[in-house]
Amino acid sequence: MSDDAVVADHDVLIVGGGGAGLRAAIAIAETEPGLDLAVVSKVYPMRSHTVSAEGGAAAAIAEGDTLDEHAYDTVSGSDWLGDQDAIEAFVQEAPRELLQLEHWGCPWSRQPDGRVAVRAFGGMKRMRTWFAADKTGFHMLHSLFQTSLKYSAMKRYDEWFVTRLLVDDGRVHGVVAVELASGRIRAITARAVVLATGGCGKVFPFTTNANINTGDGMALAYRAGAPMKDMEFVQYHPTGLPFTGILITEATRAEGGWLLNKDGYRYLQDYDLGTPTPEPTLRSMELGPRDRLSQAFVHEAEKGRTLDSEWGPIVHLDLRHLGEKLIDTKLPFVRELCLKYERIDPVTELIPVRPVVHYMMGGVHTDIDGAAPLAGLYAAGETACVSINGANRLGSNSLPECLVFGARAGRAAASYASSAGPVPAAVAAQASDEVRRLERLLGTPPGAESVATIRTEMQTTMEDAAGIYRTGPDMAAGVDQLRDLQERSTRVGIWDTSHSFNTELVAALELANMLDVAECMLASGLRREESRGAHQRTDFRARDDSRFLTHHLVGRDPDGSPRVSELPVTITRWPPGERVYGR
Amino acid sequence: MASTITLSVTRWRPDRSMPPGPQEYEVPLRKEWTVLDGLNHIKNEIDQTLAFRWSCRMGICGSCGMNVNGEPRLTCGAFLSDYAPGPIRVEPLANFPIARDLIVDMSDFMEKLPRVKPWVIRDDDVTEIDGEYLQTPEELDAYKQFSMCINCMLCYAACPVYGLDPDFVGPAAIALAERYDLDSRDHGARERLDVLIEHEGVWGCTFVGECTRVCPKHVDPAGAIQRYKLKAAQQTVKAFLLPRAMR
């Protein structure tokens, strides 16, 4: 490989600088300080979407809590699709990870005696969610980022966009990336690559996710031959603000908030979620799991018991009885967001909310150490699917997941990199191919399509095909529409001719990533002829363990089409049972 | 209310010889739209070549800071209707080199931030973690406000000193140093003071207070700088009076 093509060679390259990526980086810097480590991210690390997480991070540490109870809540929350060996490792390592973050300065909210405070959360039968008011993700991310600055040998490629994984002879050897400021396209080679690029909520029109959540890592792995897992499971969070989709944290309900229909009635009692009590009851009513609450909203709308808004049906989240002091102490960001974006004050007014796409349970298939079935490739965080979340993630499990499996993936990648050989010369040709491909994208072919148009059509397609309730025919229609959009996307024009911060080019590459991810979702969803967790089909209403107590892997055929296969779920101690909430 | 409003947006490409200049776009004036929504409307419907940074659109990621009618603002929190009837001037953050259109080069801050050692420094060498460091709610409150900085760079854009003296460490970095100094779990105040006592550290600040005024998260960097100057002054006095070991 000629020197001008390679910008640098590292032992481990981490793609993504959010919670999982930075935790992986610090784990490597601490355990294998001799390794050459780099983090590449399309944004400055502290802009990563971890920053938007609000409610908290779960770990069984409070008196009276046990690891087994955290595991059982997670298993039942996952509708038995989570792998129980992974869940057991997760609940066991989560307490240490949160304590580690405490030692790194995370400003966890405290009890009067100075110990870390915990709060309730949906689907959890104990109070075990650590929190930093309602900016938990923000504080975790900045604590991790600032701590990472200690390791001055760690190389960062801030605002570099990765476009391709370099693979030769079944091994990953690095990436090709665009430096956004200059437009330079370079290969960054490495013995091991950790993908930690977050989720893919922007596949949908209405999401809590940030602009950057375009499934980049998933698409990179998919195209490189690593399978996706459980991509049909998309989490709708029950409480987003109607126009913006801004998240109103589940902590509002953990602190005692109520969900009310247009008659002021706590409608969740009609959906097998328990009976209303003035004080919150764990694993009951407003503290049920997110899939069930979002589904209840749809039924309530069908009954005509929601309110109409400019943005579709809404219900109300009532915090008024919590009082100003509690809201300002424990939910200050919620008040700030409501005042700014809805011009209402939750201390005295009802918050309009509706379900909103929030989280991807599926992702790059990995084992319990974050290893994908492609040598040298690792993934962690929302990008990955280990799986601890199965068919439905519990609130406050994703932040500790980033820490536990970020650290695990980092250590595993470091260990692999220590023994892997040098980068083969063959990847130089791949890098040159990629440079040519990217250069060809610039410009406007005859009849050019715009990124924004195709993106909007993709989002509408996915909302229609893969909403809270799905049917086979809707998903099949979505598959056809996506195929058409894939074809049209080959004629996307790039009107921007500048090399510096060509955000239109980045948007086109992100669109290509999202189209691949969207195809995986529908392919998996069509195959799953049952209702489980966040995948609810009106043509197959029941869970069917005899046929579908199994993960779905999606591989990419040579012609680009998705191919679905099955992988057994690991059951260790909790045989499949009924999910019981509120009774 | 008029149905549209004009955004006068700075355009600039580093590969063209033309200096930065405004370009006008008319966007729908909707009550729930922010300046960022207006920019996205331009990018999606009018002119794909406009470049700007944004991500969370909820005021927490710190990406979308720009000068709006001359004031540093997070554009995701600046509503079009508050500027009606317009036009609204949207410019890159002041005091930074422009990289492209509304995007500034903030690498200077990224280089300075590690210098103030914004991480927990301990006297003891804890290797095994068997519990949390205790910290009462009052001890948390002592530094909490300084931990709210989102690195959005609005304070640098507002700071007249940073504009004149690029060596000045600047408001956000000093506020973060103070955040760790005030954290009951940290023992690194002396190390940070050694950095900030230098000319480019805290002394550049002339107490204009613009940083605190524009901070979208009420961090009060000006207060942090003032506290540092006091600490530095005390240290200087001690340096005259006491042998090093006793300072």
Residues A190-209 have pLDDT tens digits of 999 999 999 999 999 999 99
Look at residue B243 and tell me whether its pLDDT is greater than 90.
no
Chain A residues closer than 8 Å to B56 by CB = 47, 49, 51-52, 210-211
**Same domain? B155 vs B218:** yes
- Structure token digits, residue A12: 């481990």
Looking at residue A483, what is its pLDDT? Answer: 98
Among the ranges given (A2-16, A194-208, A444-458), the one the predictor scored with the smallest mean pLDDT: A2-16
Residue B35: give the domain boundaries.
4-104
CATH number at residue B191: 1.10.1060.10
* Three-class SS state of B222: helix
Look at residue B241 and tell me whether its pLDDT is greater than 80.
no
CB contact under 8 Å between B51 and A502, yes or no, is yes
Chain B residues closer than 8 Å to A341 by CB = 32, 58
Look at residue A7 and tell me whether its pLDDT is greater than 90.
no
Residues A515-537 have pLDDT tens digits of 999 999 999 999 999 999 999 99
CB contact under 8 Å between B43 and A452, yes or no, is yes
Active site residues of A: 237, 253
- Listed by number, the residues of chain B in 19-38 with a beta carbon closer than 8 Å to a beta carbon of chain A are 32
**Same domain? B97 vs B116:** no
CB contact under 8 Å between B120 and A104, yes or no, is yes
Look at residue A2 and tell me whether its pLDDT is greater than 60.
no
Q: What is the mean pLDDT of residues A293-321?
A: 98
ipTM of predicted assembly, 2 dp: 0.97
Per-residue burial over A34-69, b = 16 or more CB atoms within 10 Å of its CB, e = otherwise: ebbbbbbbbbbbbbbbbbbbbbbbbbbbbeebebeb
A110: DSSP letter: B
Looking at residue B246, what is its pLDDT? Answer: 58
**Same domain? B177 vs B84:** no
Chain B residues closer than 8 Å to A149 by CB = 113-114, 118-119
Residues A467-497 have pLDDT tens digits of 999 999 999 999 999 999 999 999 999 999 9
CB contact under 8 Å between B120 and A147, yes or no, is yes
**Same domain? B73 vs B33:** yes
Chain B residues closer than 8 Å to A135 by CB = 60, 148
Look at residue B182 and tell me whether its pLDDT is greater than 90.
yes
* Three-class SS state of A541: coil
Look at residue A5 and tell me whether its pLDDT is greater than 80.
no
Rg of chain B over Cα atoms, rounded to whole angstroms, equals 21
Number of inter-chain CB pairs under 8 A, A vs B: 158
Residues B125-142 have pLDDT tens digits of 777 788 999 999 999 999
**Same domain? B49 vs B114:** no
Mean pLDDT for chain B? Answer: 93
**Same domain? B83 vs B187:** no
Closest CA to A218 of A8, A15, A23: A15
B65 min Cα distance to partner chain A (Å):
12
On whether the CB atoms of residues A103 and B126 are closer than 8 A, the answer is: yes
A113 min Cα distance to partner chain B (Å):
6
d(CA A374, CA A175): 14
Q: What DSSP letter does each residue of A213-281 carry, written as one string?
A: -S-HHHHHHHHTTPPEE-TT-EEEEEEE-TTT--B--THHHHTT-EEE-TTS--GGGGGTS----SS--
Please report, rounded to a whole number, the percentage of residues in chain B having pLDDT higher than 70.
95
**Same domain? B93 vs B166:** no
Residues B27-37 have pLDDT tens digits of 999 999 999 99
**Same domain? B116 vs B56:** no
Question: B38 pLDDT band (50/70/90 cuts)?
Answer: very high
d(CA A97, CA A77): 22
**Could you give the number of structural domains in chain B?**
2
Looking at residue B233, what is its pLDDT? Answer: 85
Closest CA to A77 of A388, A440, A316, A353: A388
**Same domain? B124 vs B139:** yes
CB contact under 8 Å between A103 and B55, yes or no, is no
Question: A421 pLDDT band (50/70/90 cuts)?
Answer: confident
Domain stop point among B69, B85, B104 = B104
**Same domain? B180 vs B242:** yes
Look at residue A1 and tell me whether its pLDDT is greater than 50.
no
Domain stop point among B104, B137, B164 = B104
**Same domain? B128 vs B228:** yes
CB contact under 8 Å between B55 and A146, yes or no, is no
Looking at residue B232, what is its pLDDT? Answer: 84
Domain stop point among B80, B104, B128 = B104
pTM of full prediction above 0.90: yes
Interface check for A337 against chain B (CB to CB < 8 A): the answer is: yes
CATH number at residue B37: 3.10.20.30
Looking at residue A3, what is its pLDDT? Answer: 43
d(CA B57, CA B62): 9
Look at residue B242 and tell me whether its pLDDT is greater than 70.
no
**Same domain? B122 vs B94:** no
Question: A368 pLDDT band (50/70/90 cuts)?
Answer: very high
